[in-house]
Amino acid sequence: MTGVLPVTLGDATKVVQALLYSGKEYVCVMKLHGDVKIEQVKKVLGEFQDNIYQRPPLRASVKRQLRMRRIYYLDFLEADGRKVLFRVGCEGGTYIRKLCFDVGEVLGSGAHMQELRRTRAGPFVEAGSTTLHDAAYSFMKWQEEKDERLLKGFIQPMERALGLLPKIYVRDSAVDALCHGATLTAPGIVSLDGSVKTGSVAAILTLKHEGIALSRATANAEQILDMKHGVVAKTERVLMPRGTYPKLWKGGKKQHEQEG
Partner 1 sequence: MPRTAAPWEIKPELLIKTEDATNPSFGCKPEERSAENLVKYGVINLDKPAGPSSHEVAAWVKRILKQEHVGHGGTLEATG
Does position 178 interact with partner 1 (CB under 8 A)? The reply is no
| Least separation in angstroms between CB 211 and partner 1 | 8
Say if strands 167-170 and 201-205 run parallel, antiparallel, or are unpaired: parallel
Q: Identify the residue among 1, 55, 83, 181 touching partner 1 (CB under 8 A).
A: 1
| Least separation in angstroms between CB 216 and partner 1 | 17
As a whole number of angstroms, the distance between CA 254 and CA 64 comes to: 49
Q: Which stretch binds partner 1 (CB under 8 A): 37-45, 79-87, 103-111, 170-178?
A: 170-178
Does position 158 interact with partner 1 (CB under 8 A)? The reply is yes
Q: Note whether 15 and 162 are within 8 A (CB).
A: yes
Q: Identify the residue among 182, 206, 214, 215 touching partner 1 (CB under 8 A).
A: 206
Q: Identify the residue among 40, 191, 198, 255 touching partner 1 (CB under 8 A).
A: 191
Question: 69-88 mask for partner 1 (x: CB under 8 A)?
Answer: -x-xx---------------
Does position 22 interact with partner 1 (CB under 8 A)? The reply is yes
**Residues 20/76/83/61 CA torsion (nearest 10 deg):** 10
Q: Which stretch binds partner 1 (CB under 8 A): 31-39, 79-87, 171-179, 250-258?
A: 171-179
Q: Which stretch binds partner 1 (CB under 8 A): 9-17, 32-40, 76-84, 251-259?
A: 9-17
Q: Identify the residue among 35, 39, 61, 80 touching partner 1 (CB under 8 A).
A: 61
Taking Cα atoms as reference points, which of 180, 191, 260 lies closest to residue 232? 191
Q: Closer to partner 1 at the Cβ: 38 or 140?
A: 140
3-state secondary structure of 87: strand
Taking Cα atoms as reference points, which of 196, 220, 218, 191 lies closest to residue 206? 191
Beta-bridge mates of residue 51: 70
Question: 85-124 mask for partner 1 (x: CB under 8 A)?
Answer: ----x--x--xxx------------------x-x-xxxxx
3-class SS letters over 16-46: HHHHHCCCEEEEEEEEECCCCCHHHHHHHHH
Cα dist from 11 to 157, 159, 203, 237, 239, whole Å: 11, 12, 16, 11, 7
| Least separation in angstroms between CB 132 and partner 1 | 6
| Least separation in angstroms between CB 175 and partner 1 | 8
Taking Cα atoms as reference points, which of 216, 213, 164 lies closest to residue 193? 164
Size of the site for partner 1 (CB under 8 A): 90
Side by side, which strands form the sheet with 83-90?
51-54, 67-80, 83-90, 24-32, 111-121, 124-125
Question: 123-152 mask for partner 1 (x: CB under 8 A)?
Answer: xxxx-xxxxx--xx--x--x-----x--xx
